[in-house]
Amino acid sequence: MLREFIAKLRKKGTFYEIKKTIPNDGILTAIMQKLDGKTILIHNFKNFSSFKLISGLVGSRENIALALNTTTDKLYDSINKAMGRLKKPKKSGTSPSFMENRLVGDSLSLDILPIQRFFESDGGPYITSALVIAKDPEQEFQNISFHRLMKLDKNHFAIRLVPRHLYTIFEKYKKMGKDTPIAIVIGVHPAVLFAASYPLPYGSDELWLANAFLKNKLEVSYLEDVDAFVPSHAEIVMTGVIKHDILHEEGPFVDITGTRDIIRKQPVVEISEIYYRNDPYYYTILPAGYEHRILMGMPKEVKIYEAVKAVLPTVKQVNMTVGGCGWLHAIISIEKQTDGDPKNVMLAAFAAHPSLKHCVVVDDDIDVYNLNEVEWAIATRFNGEDDLLIVKNVRGSSLDPSADQKSLLTTKIGLDATIPLTKNKDEFKKVKIENDIDIQRYLS
């Protein structure tokens, strides 16, 4: 499935194939930054000629839409429809392709993988694209989610765990005095990537959502040693455990804000087996790049849209902005019914995405993806005395360097940049030129 999707991307003008050898990590990171938002296929990275590196699979909204079999203007509707038709994936009837090669015992070594140190300040080489699958020890469901993995040696990682679903599963095993069995997957169809990043409620299997995106065509394979199902088309699969009684320093790491995250004591993963396809693709994500922000931010856009729609059905668009790291800033356009609507919208947005720091609400004549228009709306429609919402001492984001990193408390701000209903709308509209001319006619 991934390989078929890559074939589709090859036909786009945003696909770059690099066949010259990339000699080191620094040059690879520089290339990824220069081509940020584009799909990059690298044939030769250092001495890892048996692995092709692929990045930028979902570096744009257009790629996400292509992966989910929809268009950019119908993304939210398509995602919500998929949420209503979750279905268990079919179990593959054949041996999965990722089992074409297997490393175990003395042959096992993470050195075979082109794990990259993105920046000199990184605490070590990192896998940024890892999907970790683990089953709840008390309930019959599994969870799949993104986690960065810092390589420690030939069969150990430090894993970043935040208090979400995998952390809950880990804590359950830890209380039992047991390690958490996991599968780690690298290189899958972007529908699986997006599903893994979507904030489903605890107890849901994200592979069911991926299957809905893929029109029930996703096949999975059962791995008995970790009691988990993984996508059969995966390029690389590792099995192992999260040790319940070992911590290691993890970080620093350049996170979504483009700033360095702090060093923390985090659990250790011990790998027991590595599987990979013939001529495999190793998928990697540039920290703080477009792909990182889209995978983290777009699912939150959908959650914000639905939360706002519950209080104001005439919501139009939501944009988790690039400048706001795809995480901390939202711009929301609405068709206002009352002058109190924008503040209700802001409060709904802050509740839907607790990490959201600043929210701007604009009228539906403003394109939320055109930041010049948004700034113009703030300049001409926002009055600080009446249109500013300040919420102090509330939970913020651990990724925000300006927040208190111990308490995670911050101040959130909302800006109402909509036209007051008590005023004449025409006074706030840009004057448009009525005649559309062919300028070349007058320049030649």
**Which are the catalytic amino acids?**
255
Pairwise CA distance, residues 261 & 407, whole Å: 16
Max distance between CA atoms of the chain, in angstroms, equals: 80
Rounded to whole angstroms, the Cα distance separating 63 from 268 reads: 34
**Chain centre distance of CA 334:** 25
Which SS3 state, helix, strand or coil, does residue 428 take?
A: helix
**Burial call 345-379: b when 16+ CB within 10 Å, e when fewer:** bbbbbbebbebbbbbbbbbebbbbeeeebbeebbe
State the residue for tokens 């927040």.
403
Beta strand 90-91 with 264-276: parallel, antiparallel or unpaired?
A: unpaired
Say which DSSP state 114 is in: -
N-to-C CA span, the chain: 51
Tokens 């701000």, residue?
Answer: 413
CB 132 within 8 A of CB 166: yes
Angle, to 10 degrees, between the axis of helix 290-311 and the axis of helix 341-352?
A: 130
> Nearest-CA neighbor of 194 among 65, 327, 331?
65
Alpha-carbon distance of 437 to 430, in angstroms, equals 19
Contacts of 340 (CB under 8 A, 6+ apart): none
**Cα gap 146→144, rounded to integer Å:** 7
- Distance separating alpha carbons of residues 436 and 208, to the nearest angstrom: 50
- How far is residue 212's CA from residue 85's CA, in Å, rounded to a whole number? 6
DSSP 8-state assignment for residue 251: -
Cα 81 to the chain's mean position, in Å? 20
Which letter does DSSP use for residue 200 in this model? P
Phi, psi of 219 (to 5 degrees): -115, 145
C-beta of residue 143 within 8 angstroms of C-beta of residue 50: no
Instruction: Kindly state the tokens that stand for 181.
Output: 């069995």
